[in-house]
Structure 1
Amino acid sequence: MAATRKVLGTAGHIDHGKSSLIQALTGTDPDRLAEEKERGITIELGFAQLQLSDGTSMGVVDVPGHERFVRQMISGSTGIDIALLCIAADDGIMPQTREHVAVLELLAVPSCVVALTKSDRVDEEWIEMVSSDIRAYLADTPFADAPIVPTSARTGYGLDRLRSALAAEAEKGSSIHENPYARMPVDRVFTVKGAGTVVTGTLWSGSVKVDDELQVLPSKAISRVRSIQHHDQAANEASPGERTALNLSSFTVDDVRPGDFLVTPHSIEPTDRFDTRFTYLCPLKEGKPLATGTRIRIAHGTKETFGRLLLADGLQEIKPNESAYAQIRLEEDLPLSSGDRYIARSYSPVAVIGGGIALTCHPRRRTNLSALDRALLEALERGDYQQAASKAAQAQTLPFSLDDIARTASVPEPLAKTVLEGLVESGALSQLRSGSREFFVTRAAIQKTMGAIENALLAFHAKNPNEPGVHKNDLLLRCGLSMSQAAFDALLDIAAQSGKVVIDSGAVSHPKAGAGAKAAESKAAESILAVLEKERFTPPAIPSLFEQAGVKDHSLAYRALGALERQGDVVRVGKELAFSKESFDQLVSLTRSHLGECGSATVAELKDRLGISRKYAVPLLEEFDARGITKRSGDARVLG
């Protein structure tokens, strides 16, 4: 993977000098819209590039501070490594300061630097007082130790110290952009004359090269990258953490929209629900609990959609500053991965009320957590993906594939494979094969399936005492098991090997309950064969054959006749006739002898030689032709 860069994002109340400070630090005015310049406020996300003291550079995302544009602020803050919290020295902490800090906290932004802007407007004593207020406010947040740097974009005061503080924070820890797959939330889409569709965003993870294919989510359409730019400079590759513009081939502005994700093809499956540890901060109002089932806004990446918060294990409500496990059911699919952060806003009036981390991204629709469910969520919450895969495997009640565990536990396939191989080796799992497909199954799941198969077969035999068994495809439906036919076939093989079922020509029977049906079939076969041996060359048509044999159940009679044919005791001729094998062989011998003497013979001549009517001679000779015993020569037959 290409070298990872870090991303700086601004935060703070409106008119606290965020854009002016970025322009003073980078030389780039992040307010690009005419309306922004006319009104003197930031409306859309702005972007720049900051040169650090060690010679490296950092992408900068400038966000709006107005309360009406909190959605844009969340969009810009998702995926940043360092927050530049701007607080005006002459104003101090304001409502959007608190809301923005709540967003940074919920998104788990790992680092923060406070710029005390407009410090040239106040004296030192005032700066010390405001700094003390800020320190006290941040004491209960993850940013308690954030450096506070007095600055002035107008005079340049404190800018070098601010750059040094940002450089020091950039050296700490690793970037959040660590994932082998490319992921980029799209924030702008536009058309460039002569080039086509261009999308912009901050590359969350992975890398993108010219001519790479990328998939748009949630539509799943795939396009090729024609060209790449960073801050108006052409490049051959985009690295994680970089502000990137991609020119996409064969796409229009209708094929990809702001809020979509660009990802490595087939690396992420969008989801309409996810399990989470939800934190209810309610930073701008006090006291009111949040009830389960509440409709909320979910902001992830550069998109916001609606969903319902369903608290786990019967919890009816959650109070401010509490957290709990929950499942969020979305009204629109999102391309979530385990570990992704999201922000929750109230439906109306709109305000940030909480958020958290996505844990399992393709869970069952349930809110009551089993012990294994809870263990899985706890493992994901602490980032123990190996334990998460193990718990996910042990929680399976049916056969599952490697892909199932990678999806359920939200872990990479290579890690899931390693964990499953270890569980097979320890005996906790069994590995099954059905054709080219591979499955895993727990002991408990095997026992459950064996019990379901036995119960279904016993019920079938009780209702159909003369039926020898049920087809395996039908048996799966009768068992009521939600698994693929391939997985069920693999388990049927285990059942047959252990003597729990008998499989014969695709029909599955219980070894005890099916005995009566097999006895009835055997008796019917004896009666049918006796009639055929008696009638020799002129057997009755099949319906009459069953009647003469005294077999009234036609289903049983046809099964018995089929068994005789498979055993080689009977030969079927056409749809209506059957001969005993002995009689058929004699007819073949007589036909060969006559044709050997005469060279050829008509149907009339052969029926007279065999002593049968045309009713028998025509289908017999057609059967002989099919078997290569005879062949047509005009109106006659000769040896084949």
Structure 2
Amino acid sequence: MRVIATAGHVDHGKSTLIHALTGTHPDRLAEERRRGLTIDLGFAWTDLPSGERLAFVDVPGHERFVPTMLAGVGPVPAVLFVVAADEGWKPQSAEHLAAVDALGVRHGLLVITRCDMADPGPATARARERIRSSTLGSVEAVAVSARTGAGLADLRTALDRLAARLPDGNADSPVRLWIDRSFTVRGSGLVVTGTLGAGRIRRGDTLVASRSGSPVRVRALHTLGEETALVRATARVAVNLRGLDKELTGRGDALLTPGSFLPCLTCDVRVHGGTPAGELPRTAVAHIGSAAVPVRVRPLGPEIIRLTFPAPLPLRIGDRAVLRDPGLRRVLAGLTVLDPQPPELRRRGSAARRAAELGDARGGPDEASELRRRLLVTRGELTAMGIAVRTAPVVGDWLADPAHWVTLRARLAELVAAYLTEQPTEDGIPVEAARRRLGLPAVSLVEALVRPPLCVRRGRVTSGPAAQPAPVADAVRRLTAELDGRPFAAPHAQRLAELGFGRRELATAVRHGTVLRLAEHVVLLPDAPRLAADRLSGLGQPFTVGAASRALDTSRRVTVPLLEHCDGQGITRLLPDKRRRCAPRSRPAAVTAPHPACTDLEETVASEDGKAERP
């Protein structure tokens, strides 16, 4: 199926021509037929000589109904431009052509009607001259008389040639069906209609209504008056919906494939034709798809403006729109969406910089250009903006501009080196701190940047092997000398500071496993539990805390946390009467890798029933 819309001045015979071609009068409303004036959109279809089915969207020509005309033409790829031979080019002919040009419609056919009432030559010549300067370019012209039937056969043949040139809709794309009518049918409920320009809709599909964000289910589908289970683009379609009230939808709403479009509240667009960007009014109406929405206009540069919408719209890069002044009743300019998810403009001069950044953008879905502009973006965001993604993610769903990624990697190496210089007792810069300093949106991006000699250890980015900082190593050597001969005589807080153990140094030594912190200000060497096991095993079993203190030659301040640590390691066992006994060992104790908070001793011990267990 192909879809084509009419265009042209009021009372130039658009609806009469469609009736003559299809046998169906597109005017649906009683008032339209009574007044002989098209007020709302009309629809009809016919079979062409080639067998191609052609659907028509008939639009009103009166100046008061230009918004309705734009709702019909907006989603359609071609126009049937109608000019009456006896009246020639008229004001609404010019406004309709301006709208068609603003929308970037490139396929069309000129039809000169009422050729039985006047020589079609002058009207044809003038219309072709006007149309030639628009996006339609040089169009084929056919003179007809709907009253006598003259030229209708030639028109059908010309329509066949036009239909053959129309691009095929991409049935594999997400659905975005702009709604141009909504009504209820007794026994069926809500029905909406529109021109399906891309994608496919099946009976039973779940779509999303853009305006409300509500999921809706497709109960039934009709196209060209026939019920069907599947509709592929391009097509006129009526969709019977479940899950949406008529009051919540209508013309300008859209049915979307879930998760395939991002809500757009602001967008940067290129202005073409008509009024220059700097001379546009600060408020206007934008016609996009079948929607007509008031917008705030902010000029950014000679051809670039930013639009702000009162409610989100499902826009993509490359979408075309018309900016119109409803007060003056004229088309101001055509618009091409360059960025439906633009950055905020907060600093002085940011508008001019943004215009320069978009200077070479023409609204084409160019992946490399978008990555250069955005630097970092998720695959889902880029796809939702209409860009086919071929670049491999750097991590997860994140895509990066290659040059920016190289720069980030170099900056991370500089950050790590500077941090280790400023904080010699630290193992490296915390990953979260690196994320903030690099301005990255996710920690996973920092980890993806790490390459040798950098590495991630214990939540920090550092360089080289796990070497203990020199100040910490010196403090450990002094502590070792301090405990020589009395391995359980843990220094008090002041002495620890004198030995070089500040808060940072002590934490670093604990992480490296070169000291064992049993409690606040109770610090021993890592082999203390093994030495304690040797001494305590020589006591009468079970033993008290006091007996253990005497055997270890230390105070209760050290003995209590040391015994609790030994309990946890299975070296000793706490009995109900608060005494302890050493657990029998099946083999020599082994020291485990240090815990981040302290260095633990882990032994395999035999249980009292003789079975081996690991505490």
TM-score by length of 2: 0.81
Which position in structure 1 is the counterpart of 2:292?
304
Which position in structure 2 is the counterpart of 1:411?
387
Which position in structure 2 is the counterpart of 1:549?
499
Cα RMSD (Å): 3.6
**Does structure 1 retain, via aligned residues, the 8 Å contact 2:14–2:58?**
yes
Q: Which amino acid in structure 1 is aligned with residue 522 of structure 2?
A: L
**Does structure 1 retain, via aligned residues, the 8 Å contact 2:510–2:516?**
no
Within 2, Cα distance between the matches of 1:233 and 1:352? 37
**Does structure 1 retain, via aligned residues, the 8 Å contact 2:415–2:434?**
no
Name the SS of the counterpart of 1:562 in structure 2. Answer: helix
Q: Which amino acid in structure 1 is aligned with residue 437 of structure 2?
A: R
Query: Do the aligned partners of residues 583 and 546 (structure 1) sit closer, same or farther apart at CA in structure 2, a change above 3 Å counting?
Result: same
Which position in structure 2 is the counterpart of 1:537?
488
Query: Do the aligned partners of residues 574 and 550 (structure 1) sit closer, same or farther apart at CA in structure 2, a change above 3 Å counting?
Result: closer
**Does structure 1 retain, via aligned residues, the 8 Å contact 2:48–2:156?**
yes
Matches within 5 A, 1:38-49: 38-49=34-45
Deviations 1:76-98 (A, max 9, x none): 00132332222233322211111
Q: After TM superposition, what 4+ stretches of structure 1 lie above 6 angstroms from structure 2?
A: 369-372
Matches within 5 A, 1:388-467: 388-393=366-371, 395=372, 398=375, 402-403=379-380, 406=383, 410-413=386-389, 417=390, 420=391, 432-433=394-395, 440-443=400-403, 445-447=405-407, 450-451=410-411, 454=414, 458=418, 461-462=421-422
Which position in structure 2 is the counterpart of 1:426?
none
Deviations 1:116-137 (A, max 9, x none): 33444x24xx433333333333
Q: Which amino acid in structure 2 is aligned with residue 291 of structure 1?
A: E
Which position in structure 2 is the counterpart of 1:624?
566
Within 2, Cα distance between the matches of 1:611 and 1:452? 50
Query: Do the aligned partners of residues 593 and 38 (structure 1) sit closer, same or farther apart at CA in structure 2, a change above 3 Å counting?
Result: farther
Which position in structure 1 is the counterpart of 2:130?
137
Q: Which amino acid in structure 2 is aligned with residue 246 of structure 1?
A: V
Deviation, structure 1 residue 370:
8.9
Name the SS of the counterpart of 2:81 in structure 1. Answer: strand
Within 2, Cα distance between the matches of 1:617 and 1:372? 69
More helix as a share of residues: 1
Deviation, structure 1 residue 560:
4.7
Deviations 1:46-93 (A, max 9, x none): 111222223332111111111111111011001323322222333222
Which segments of 5 or more consecutive residues in structure 1 lack a partner in the other structure? Answer: 283-287, 316-323, 422-430
Query: Do the aligned partners of residues 161 and 443 (structure 1) sit closer, same or farther apart at CA in structure 2, a change above 3 Å counting?
Result: closer
Bigger shift: 571-580 or 260-269?
571-580
Q: 2:90 aligns with which of 91, 94, 116?
A: 94
Within 2, Cα distance between the matches of 1:478 and 1:534? 48
**Does structure 2 retain, via aligned residues, the 8 Å contact 1:182–1:263?**
yes
**Does structure 2 retain, via aligned residues, the 8 Å contact 1:310–1:367?**
no
Which position in structure 2 is the counterpart of 1:336?
315
**Does structure 2 retain, via aligned residues, the 8 Å contact 1:108–1:341?**
yes
Q: Which amino acid in structure 1 is aligned with residue 444 of structure 2?
A: A
Within 2, Cα distance between the matches of 1:66 and 1:277? 29
Name the SS of the counterpart of 1:573 in structure 2. Answer: strand
**Does structure 2 retain, via aligned residues, the 8 Å contact 1:223–1:249?**
yes
Deviations 1:566-604 (A, max 9, x none): 33x43232445222234432212223343xx63x34545
Deviations 1:244-299 (A, max 9, x none): 111223232355443122222222223344454421236xxxxx985268433221
Query: Do the aligned partners of residues 437 and 532 (structure 1) sit closer, same or farther apart at CA in structure 2, a change above 3 Å counting?
Result: farther
Query: Do the aligned partners of residues 506 and 237 (structure 1) sit closer, same or farther apart at CA in structure 2, a change above 3 Å counting?
Result: closer
**Does structure 2 retain, via aligned residues, the 8 Å contact 1:184–1:201?**
yes
Q: 1:572 aligns with which of 470, 493, 517?
A: 517
Bigger shift: 334-343 or 136-145?
136-145
Within 2, Cα distance between the matches of 1:219 and 1:460? 52
Which position in structure 2 is the counterpart of 1:216?
209
Within 1, Cα distance between the matches of 2:437 and 2:135? 56
Deviation, structure 1 residue 309:
5.0
Q: Which amino acid in structure 2 is aligned with residue 96 of structure 1?
A: Q
**Does structure 2 retain, via aligned residues, the 8 Å contact 1:59–1:241?**
no
Q: 1:526 aligns with which of 468, 477, 485?
A: 477
Q: Which amino acid in structure 1 is aligned with residue 576 of structure 2?
A: G
Within 2, Cα distance between the matches of 1:293 and 1:502? 56
Name the SS of the counterpart of 1:79 in structure 2. Answer: coil
**Does structure 1 retain, via aligned residues, the 8 Å contact 2:176–2:257?**
yes
Which position in structure 2 is the counterpart of 1:357?
336
Q: 1:590 aligns with which of 514, 535, 539?
A: 535
Name the SS of the counterpart of 1:390 in structure 2. Answer: helix
Within 1, Cα distance between the matches of 2:256 and 2:530? 70
2:503 counterpart of 1:562: no
Name the SS of the counterpart of 1:61 in structure 2. Answer: strand
Which position in structure 1 is the counterpart of 2:588?
none
Q: Which amino acid in structure 2 is aligned with residue 473 of structure 1?
A: E
Which position in structure 2 is the counterpart of 1:319?
none
Name the SS of the counterpart of 1:334 in structure 2. Answer: strand
Which position in structure 2 is the counterpart of 1:427?
none
Deviation, structure 1 residue 545:
4.5
Within 1, Cα distance between the matches of 2:409 and 2:327? 49
Q: Which amino acid in structure 2 is aligned with residue 270 of structure 1?
A: P
Which position in structure 1 is the counterpart of 2:51?
55
**Does structure 2 retain, via aligned residues, the 8 Å contact 1:306–1:331?**
yes
Deviation, structure 1 residue 392:
3.8
Deviation, structure 1 residue 474:
1.2
Within 1, Cα distance between the matches of 2:43 and 2:169? 19
Query: Do the aligned partners of residues 540 and 22 (structure 1) sit closer, same or farther apart at CA in structure 2, a change above 3 Å counting?
Result: same
Deviation, structure 1 residue 539:
2.0
2:16 counterpart of 1:20: yes
Query: Do the aligned partners of residues 411 and 557 (structure 1) sit closer, same or farther apart at CA in structure 2, a change above 3 Å counting?
Result: closer
**Does structure 2 retain, via aligned residues, the 8 Å contact 1:397–1:444?**
no
Query: Do the aligned partners of residues 612 and 135 (structure 1) sit closer, same or farther apart at CA in structure 2, a change above 3 Å counting?
Result: closer
2:438 counterpart of 1:488: no
Matches within 5 A, 1:61-76: 61-76=57-72
Within 2, Cα distance between the matches of 1:249 and 1:560? 63
Q: 1:161 aligns with which of 150, 154, 162?
A: 154
Q: 2:429 aligns with which of 467, 470, 477?
A: 470
Within 2, Cα distance between the matches of 1:537 and 1:575? 15
Name the SS of the counterpart of 2:246 in structure 1. Answer: coil
Which segments of 5 or more consecutive residues in structure 2 lack a partner in the other structure? Answer: 345-350, 584-606, 608-615
Name the SS of the counterpart of 2:287 in structure 1. Answer: strand
Within 1, Cα distance between the matches of 2:312 and 2:580? 71
Name the SS of the counterpart of 1:342 in structure 2. Answer: strand
**Does structure 1 retain, via aligned residues, the 8 Å contact 2:412–2:434?**
no
Which position in structure 2 is the counterpart of 1:345?
324
Q: Which amino acid in structure 1 is aligned with residue 66 of structure 2?
A: V
Bigger shift: 440-449 or 294-303?
440-449
Deviations 1:285-321 (A, max 9, x none): xxx9852684332211011224455556x43xxxxxx
Name the SS of the counterpart of 1:181 in structure 2. Answer: coil
Q: Which amino acid in structure 1 is aligned with residue 234 of structure 2?
A: G
Within 2, Cα distance between the matches of 1:19 and 1:118? 13
Deviation, structure 1 residue 353:
1.6
**Does structure 1 retain, via aligned residues, the 8 Å contact 2:203–2:219?**
yes
Deviation, structure 1 residue 555:
2.5
Query: Do the aligned partners of residues 438 and 57 (structure 1) sit closer, same or farther apart at CA in structure 2, a change above 3 Å counting?
Result: closer
Deviations 1:348-393 (A, max 9, x none): 4342122143344445455546988545x25x55xxx5xx323444
Within 1, Cα distance between the matches of 2:447 and 2:20? 69
In the comparison of the two structures, how many residue pairs are matched? 575
**Does structure 2 retain, via aligned residues, the 8 Å contact 1:201–1:245?**
yes
Q: 2:28 aligns with which of 28, 32, 40?
A: 32
